[in-house]
Structure 1
Amino acid sequence: MLERFFLKPRTIDRIMGSWLGKDIELYASTLFETGYSARSILRRVPILVQFADFTDTRRIHDLSLAESLIDSFVDHWLSSHCIGAHPGLRQRERSLARCTVRHFYSLIVWKSDYQKRKAPAADPFVVEAPGFFSYLREERGLRPETLYQYRHHLRRFAVYLGHVGCADLRLLSLPVVTGFITTTAQEVNYSVMVGLASSLRVFLQYLRREGLLERDISKLVEIPQRYRLVV
């Protein structure tokens, strides 16, 4: 799988030679299968290789113990990759490094045990728009597989709104929605963006129907054309 993203055999050997090599390869494969772009994977894998090096120099080869070093690793990552960088860039890189390692743990390391114990996650926006998923099931007649996609896309949207401080859906505006589309298009491929935009349009239409939005902005949701060729 790594051959899809890294052309040099030496780079692949470097990844697989780390004590987290097989897990990193599985992580890259899982990201690819769930729609992440090659560019996003290329940014994340080196962070995990550096995390493996960071823990290895401390003679820690246990995943549970290594997890406790994530914050220390992030500081180390910044000190070696963002010297003299603008504060805004440092903050973005800090977030990328921390989120990458924690995503790796939640997706790969604790996957089977975590999912067995975890209670089913609540539908996104269940408080703000409590009837939306009932509307999808009962009025639109959507299948469980399609509802799963809606949940996936709208959870991502909910996280973004939290990051930009837009907690009240009544204050939702086109610039906020456009920012979400543009940001997400850098992380996933075009086919995923098509599904995401479709889910978002339906959600915005519902918000307008329920009087939570003053005007219908769903028809203005567009996918950035420059990302059509992202693989």
Structure 2
Amino acid sequence: MLEKYYIRPATIDRIHESWIAPEVEQYVSWMAEQRYTDSSVSRRIPIVVSFGEFAKAHGASEVKNLPDHVEPFVQAWIGERARRRSARRRKQIGDEVRNPIRQMLRLAVLGYIGRGRLHKPDNPFERQAPGLLRYLIEEKGLRQRSIYQYQIFLRQFAAYLERIRVDNLAKLSPTVLSGFIAEYAPPRVSWSTVRNACGVLRVFLRYLNREGVLAKDLSSLVEFPQSYRHAGVPRSISWEQVEQVLAGIDRRSASGKRDYAMMLLLATYGLRAAEVASLTLDDIDWRNERLKIRERKAGNTTTYPLSAVVGAAIVEYLKNGRPATTCREVFMRCCAPHAPIGSAAVVCRAAHFIRKAGIRVPRAGSHVLRHSCVQRLLNANFPLKHIGDYVGHRSASSTQIYGKIAVEQLREVAFGNGEDVL
């Protein structure tokens, strides 16, 4: 297989002579399966071969010893080739060297996950609270989407503890907990996010006390910040601005075709980012022109008429943009390894195109297009109940806040005689 990437026999012989040649060839086969470009493969192979020689020179005699030499090799590489570069460029070069090595080791060393961005631990407190995820699933009955949110907050809490050098959960104190909440407060995030983080933290602390990790239940010390359910205003933009966002997407590229289809789904149906990311080929009924959104936040499934514009955009992506893969998810990463796109990527792409259009809005993201869809339905005088059902709200109270942006209806109330309001 190496002959596909290198012409000179001496180069191929050098790779075959490496003491980690079987691991390198396994890695090359994996990259080919993941549809890495030839240039990417030929760029990565010399790095992993050089890493093998470095590790051997520094005492590694078995493949299982290799993980101990990753960081020393990366630093040596930067010192030799990027010493005079800027700090930012040195970090980029370090990532470019570290990532292929970690990918190879994940294939070659059983149990190795490294510290790569795509391989965050499911439970950041696995060593001291190993049964946490099982507790959340089996006893709390949380769904996978809720588990994912728990993991986000717990990773942030773990990072905070590492930063302040608290290495034992038994050392948790009111000061530590209040410090984390204070650091997590707005304007960094919204008050509702802070409340969610407090809720996760309280569940975690109760679990630690139950398991004997904490001698005392500290959950009552985590106070929920005062917030009001309908205090804010949905951050929507006008439909003209939505069209401006869509017009700013370059549909000549594969990523542009994908992004255009995703943005249309957000704006047309008011979908959530997670619903777009989890959409599968089986959810589209081309014959009957129907689009099915499964397992919504409310726990239900919604079926929509498939808009001609949305359908055409998805077809264009499937025919001329989507990489060949066995995955059933509609939207895929454009770069290898080809995997289903995540909900965070949908949020980021929406934010990118909103900013690209020059539209200023607090916390730009996919929800801006969702709110804009609701705004358009309100302007068309659809009842709030119908709108809530359309966008998949769990209860009518979730839709009530949109009454704040029904400007024309509010104006009629203001100029009415009062009797109609009663």
Structures share a fold, TM > 0.5? yes
Separation (CA, whole Å) in 2 of partners of 1:16 and 1:213: 58
Q: Contact 1:20–1:52 at 8 Å: present in 2 too?
A: yes
CA 213–50 in structure 1, closer or farther in 2 if over 3 Å, else same: farther
Output aligned runs, 1:114-125, within 5 Å: none
Amino acid at match of 1:45: I
Q: Which deviations, in whole Å up to 9, do the C-alpha atoms of 1:121-170 show, x marking residues without a partner? A: x78xx76734346653674259x832287481414x84xx5xxxxx9659
Partner of 2:80: 80
Report the CA distance between 1:47 and its aligned residue: 0.8
Which whole-Å deviations, capped at 9, do the CAs of 1:92-128 have from their partners, x for residues lacking one? 110111111111112343389xxxxx99xx78xx767
Whether the 8 Å contact between 1:82 and 1:90 is mirrored in structure 2 is yes
Tell me if the contact between 1:19 and 1:61 (Cα under 8 Å) persists in the aligned partners: no
Deviation at 1:176, TM superposition (A): 8.2
Matched, 1:30 2:37: no
1:212 Cα offset (Å): 7.8
CA distance in 2: counterparts of 1:60 and 1:92, whole angstroms: 27
Q: Could you tell me how far apart the structure 1 residues matched to 2:90 and 2:7 are?
A: 29
1:140 aligns with 2:322: no
8 Å contact from structure 2 (residues 27, 104) kept in 1: yes
* TM-aligned CA distance change 1:132 to 1:48, over 3 Å: same
Aligned to 1:63: 63
Q: 1:213 to 1:104 in 2, by over 3 A?
A: farther
SS of 1:61's equivalent? coil
* Alpha-carbon separation, structure 1, partners of 2:354 and 2:81: 32
In structure 2, what is the Cα distance between the partners aligned to 1:99 and 1:134?
A: 27
Q: RCO higher in 1 or 2 (8 Å CA, sep ≥ 6)?
A: 1
> In structure 2, do the counterparts of structure 1 residues 212 and 96 end up closer, same or farther at CA, with 3 Å as the change threshold?
farther
**Counterpart residue identity of residue 68, structure 1:** D
- State the SS of the aligned residue for 2:48: helix
Computing the radius of gyration from Cα coordinates, the structure with the larger value is 2
Match of 2:312 in 1: none
Other-structure match for 1:131:
275
User: Aligned to 1:154, which of 338, 341, 347?
Assistant: 341
- For 1:20 and 1:56, the matched residues in 2 are separated by 10
- Separation of aligned partners in 2, 1:106 and 1:176: 37
In the alignment, structure 2 segments of 5+ residues that lack a partner are: 113-120, 123-143, 150-271, 286-291, 293-325, 334-338, 357-364, 375-422
| Structure 1 residues 82 and 209, CA gap change in structure 2 (3 angstroms) | closer
Show CA shifts across 1:32-57 (max 9, x none): 22111111112211110111011111
Aligned length: 170
Q: Percent identical across equivalent pairs?
A: 22
Q: Does the residue aligned with 1:15 lie in a helix, a strand or coil? A: helix
SS across alignment from 1:83 = coil
For structure 1, list consecutive stretches of 5 or more residues without a partner in the other structure. Answer: 113-117, 162-166, 178-203, 215-231
Q: TM-score normalised to the size of structure 2?
A: 0.34
1:196-220 alpha-carbon deviations (Å, 9 max, x no partner): xxxxxxxx9x967743899xxxxxx
Aligned to 1:98: 98
User: Larger % of helix: which?
Assistant: 1
Distance 1:88 1:4, change over 3 A: same
Following TM superposition, the consecutive aligned residue runs of length 4 or more in structure 1 with deviations greater than 3 angstroms are 107-112, 126-139, 148-151, 167-171, 206-214
Q: Say what the alpha-carbon RMSD is for the aligned residues.
A: 4.1
1:211 and 2:355 correspond: no
Per-residue deviation at 1:68? 1.5
Alpha-carbon distance in structure 1 between the residues aligned to 2:51 and 2:8: 21
Q: Is the 8 A contact 1:172 1:213 kept in 2?
A: no
* Structure-1 separation of matches of 2:19 and 2:98: 19
Alpha-carbon distance between aligned partners in 2 of 1:83 and 1:11, rounded to the nearest angstrom: 27
Relative to the length of structure 1, the TM-score reads 0.58
Letter in 2 for 1:32: A
Tell me which moved more, 61-70 or 40-49.
61-70
